[in-house]
């Protein structure tokens, strides 16, 4: 789920959680886009967790998720959310980089 987390746990500065809905088209695209952006821009410092809404609805409700796909920035605070399939890279980077 988060392949890079094991390599460099101490250096993590960006913790992300992506909620998807099974194999639905926007969800699959969101996963691909999220991985590409993280590899390119935060290669050594990120941790990406992907959660299937259909399998863990309770956790989604706890995180206040209304729709999928939704990308949550857990760290650094404040929490940020990006809704959609993450194909607008500029918009995603803006959200992840913002204070």
Interface residues toward another protein, by CB under 8 A: 20-22, 24-27, 53-54, 57-58, 60-61, 65-69, 77-78, 81-85, 87, 91, 95, 98-99
Which residue from 85, 71, 10 is spatially nearest to 45, judged by alpha carbons? 10
| Residue with Cβ nearer another protein (11 or 56) | 56
Which residue from 37, 14, 15 is spatially nearest to 84, judged by alpha carbons? 37
**Residues with Cβ within 8 Å of residue 20, at least 6 apart in sequence:** 27, 28, 30, 31, 50, 51, 52, 53, 68, 69
Q: How far is the CB of 87 from another protein (least distance, A)?
A: 8
Q: How far is the CB of 8 from another protein (least distance, A)?
A: 25
Q: How far is the CB of 90 from another protein (least distance, A)?
A: 11
| Residue with Cβ nearer another protein (45 or 80) | 80
């Amino acid at each position: 789920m988060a392949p890079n987390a094991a390599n460099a746990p101490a250096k993590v500065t960006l913790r992300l959680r992506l909620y998807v809905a099974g194999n639905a088209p926007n969800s699959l695209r969101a996963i691909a886009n999220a991985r590409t952006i993280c590899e390119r821009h935060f290669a050594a410092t990120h941790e990406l967790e992907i959660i299937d809404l259909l399998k863990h609805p309770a956790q989604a409700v706890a995180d206040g998720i209304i729709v999928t796909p939704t990308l949550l920035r857990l760290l650094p605070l404040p929490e940020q959310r990006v809704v959609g399939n993450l194909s607008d890279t500029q918009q995603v980077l803006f959200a992840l980089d913002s204070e």
